[in-house]
Structure 1
Amino acid sequence: MVKIQGINHITIRVSNIESSKTFYMNILGAKIVHKGNTDVYLDAGGVWLCLIEIKDAKPMDKNQVGVDHFAFTVSEEHFPKAVQLLREQNVEITRGPIQRGGGNTVSFNDLDGNEIEFFTGSLQERMKNWKQAMEVS
């Protein structure tokens, strides 16, 4: 067994490196660490994101096996500001904002349809919330 220490980085395939870089910088506050010809490395709140440009990329079918979405922790205090920013930037919100799983959540798509979530809860809160829901049903 390998002892995992955490997530090292997330690599996201995008159709246009420049517009995607701008999106992640504007929405997540990501900072450029490195920029190559077809890739850019960003730091988003301590999470390392690598955007790789794929020319003539086709969107993934939602019924395909693969990553469904990824979520970033946002404080309860900052959550309303995060939702407001999404709306001001005309970002497509796919779910929420709602309270779910022990916290507030809002899901949205990046420019290529990759789903991202802002979530205020913790794993412990989510499991406690779901355990209570299972006891009721």
Structure 2
Amino acid sequence: MLSGLNHITLSVSHLDTSLTFYTKQLGFKGHVKWDDGAYLSLGDIWLCLSLGRPCEKTDYTHIALTVEESAYATFVEKIRAAGVSEWKQNKSEGHSLYLLDPDDHKLEIHVGTLANRLESLKRKPYAGLVWL
């Protein structure tokens, strides 16, 4: 039986650029780096950057990372001051900043939890929503 998320691997075109982005802009902790990759972590999330050729993404697939509400405005200001590209404006419950990493991987910086989202769906359900 599965017990949780193990790790996320992202293909990156320039290892050093991506390593700097994830450590300096997003605050991941770097652990090791080698010719074709690096391992980082953020809380319990283990991230592998793997040198390769990322492919264009045109769907809503993304990785969401948590930020505390008290730190959200400062974080957004820092990201925008660094000129990081945004790919979407938030239209759902909770504060979210949708940004792109150097290889256009879609990330979301989100304030809130699954419990918050489910509670908001009681007040404003999505079209076709069915509770499981």
Same fold (TM over 0.5): yes
User: Superposed, which structure 2 residues align to 1:112-131 within 5 Å?
Assistant: 112-131=103-122
> Matches of 2:124 and 2:47 in 1, distance apart?
34
TM-score (structure 2 length as normaliser): 0.86
Q: Which runs of 4+ in 1 moved over 4 A?
A: none
Specify which of 102, 105, 110 is matched with residue 111 of structure 1.
102
> Alpha-carbon deviation of 1:3?
3.8
In the alignment of these two chains, the number of paired residues is 127
Once the two structures are TM-superposed, the CA of residue 95 in structure 1 deviates from its matched residue by 2.5
Kindly report which structure 2 residues correspond to 1:69-80, keeping only aligned pairs within 5 A, or say none: 69-80=62-73
TM-score (normalizing by structure 1): 0.83
User: 1:90-136, CA deviations, whole angstroms, 9 ceiling, x for partnerless residues?
Assistant: 0001233x4622x111100001110000111110110111231129x
SS at match of 1:71: strand
Cα RMSD over matched residues?
2.0
Contact 2:11 2:54 in 1 (8 A): no
3-state SS in 1 of match to 2:69 = coil
In structure 2, stretches of 5+ residues that fail to align are 127-132
Please name the residue that 2:123 is paired with: 132
Change (3 A) 1:45 1:3: closer
User: What is the aligned-residue identity percentage?
Assistant: 30
For structure 1, which runs of at least 5 residues remain unmatched after alignment? none
Match of residue 82, structure 1, among 60, 75, 80:
75
> Which amino acid is the alignment partner of residue 17 of structure 2?
S
Residues 30 and 61 of structure 1: is their aligned pair in 2 closer, same or farther, counting only changes over 3 Å? closer
Alpha carbons of 1:62 and 1:35: their partners in 2 closer, same or farther (altered >3 Å)?
Answer: same
- Report the CA distance shift for 1:30/1:58 in structure 2 as closer, same or farther (over 3 A): closer
